[in-house]
Amino acid sequence: MRRIVLAATSTVSGLIMLFSYHTSTMGAGGVIASGGTAGGGSTGTTGSTGTTGSTGTTGTTAAPTPSTSGSGSSSASTAKKTYTGQSVDTRWGPVQVQITVVAGKVTDATAVVYPSGNGRDAEINSYALPILHDEAVKAQSAKIDLVSGATVTSDGYVQSLQSALDAAHI
């Protein structure tokens, strides 16, 4: 349990850093890089993301203490747990991240609170999450009804996730 919480802590703080990183370079082709594996302590790589934020970080990204929002026993390391980080004030407003951890790996990351006060300003308000393929939510375990994507084609239908979702109700 302790190990998981530590991993979650580093992930949440890493994500917070991403959120507070000024995204003005994105429109100009900048990349918010993060090659870290979220479940394994990604502070190293996300830290480098922070340093590329030459447009300024807030200094308010105190690492939040995750709180377990579900019950969950300490022995069940494979159980799905949701952690919600503390709300952190950034220069654009409060940011709060919730992550889902299964067997010590982050399976989902959600900004439950993020700045929206400035409406349409992409430079300020857009947020970016890294694609971490190991941690991307496995569709087979996600509760979904439909799939939006480029592979829902006639050629690929039989193998597609959508066909499985359809078959459940045909």
Closest to another protein by CB, 1 vs 161, is: 161
Nearer to another protein, 62 or 164 (CB): 164
- Residues in the site for another protein, rule: CB under 8 A? 23, 26-29, 31-34, 108, 110-112, 114-116, 119-123, 125-131, 133, 136-154, 156-157, 160-166, 168-170
CB of 3 to another protein, least distance (A): 25
The letter for the amino acid at 56 is G
Dihedral (CA of 18, 21, 26, 29) sign:
negative
In the complex, minimum distance from the CB of residue 65 to another protein, in angstroms, rounded to a whole number: 22
CA neighbor of 81 nearest in space, from 60, 96, 67, 63: 67
Which residue reads 């690929």 in tokens? 156
Residue placing its CB nearer to another protein in the complex, 68 or 163: 163
Q: Measured at the alpha carbon of residue 148, what is the angle toward residues 120 and 16, in degrees to the nearest 5?
A: 45
Bridge-based pairing state of the strands 88-90 and 80-84: unpaired
Using the minimum distance from each CB to another protein, give the nearer residue, 1 or 147: 147
Q: How far is the CB of 6 from another protein (least distance, A)?
A: 24
